[in-house]
Amino acid sequence: MNIQRPFLVEFMKYRVLNKNREFTRLYARGKSYVHPHLVLYVAKNRLGVTRVGLTATKKVGGAVQRNRARRVMRAALVENLSPNSGGYDIILVARARTPHLKSTQVSRTLAVLLKKAGLPVRRPQPAPPPPAAPGDRP
């Protein structure tokens, strides 16, 4: 059965790193940017496509905490990674605090780390104005 997922296709502007040798190469040759909430590893690749790997070790906690950490990091990546940032390999490593943070905190942290790394950051969309109350006049 072929199920289409337009939601994921629209927002996932990157490919996934999933081979051990890719992670090892990036840990060895990539530049790291450390924050108490996250660690970011970045290296240029020759593919012209950004590839991303997410890591949460057992130091982060049990399976539920590790999954939450990855979910929060993935949401922050979708929010901050610019679609035209092609040609990089990126690894995000969760720290012990990551699963206990709100997604907005992780998103701000990731934006800071991406700017430090010199990667283009997606501009935040302005919040829509609140709806007018029924008795208010324009």
Q: Name the pTM for this structure.
A: 0.78
pLDDT digits (tens, 9 = 90+) for 69-106: 999 999 999 899 887 777 899 999 999 999 999 999 99
Delineate the domains of the chain, giving CATH numbers in brackets: 11-116 (3.30.230.10)
CA distances from 101 to 37, 59, 105, 113 (A): 8, 16, 6, 16
Q: What is the DSSP string of 2-62?
A: ----HHHHHH--SEE---HHHHHHHHHHSEEEE-SSEEEEEEE-SSSS-EEEEE--TTT-S
β-bridge mates for residue 43, sequence order: 89
Query: Residue 93: enclosing H or E segment and its boundaries?
Result: strand 88-94
pLDDT for 126 equals 59
Beta bridge partners of 89: 43, 51
Question: For residues 42 and 2, which has the higher predicted lDDT (pLDDT)?
Answer: 42
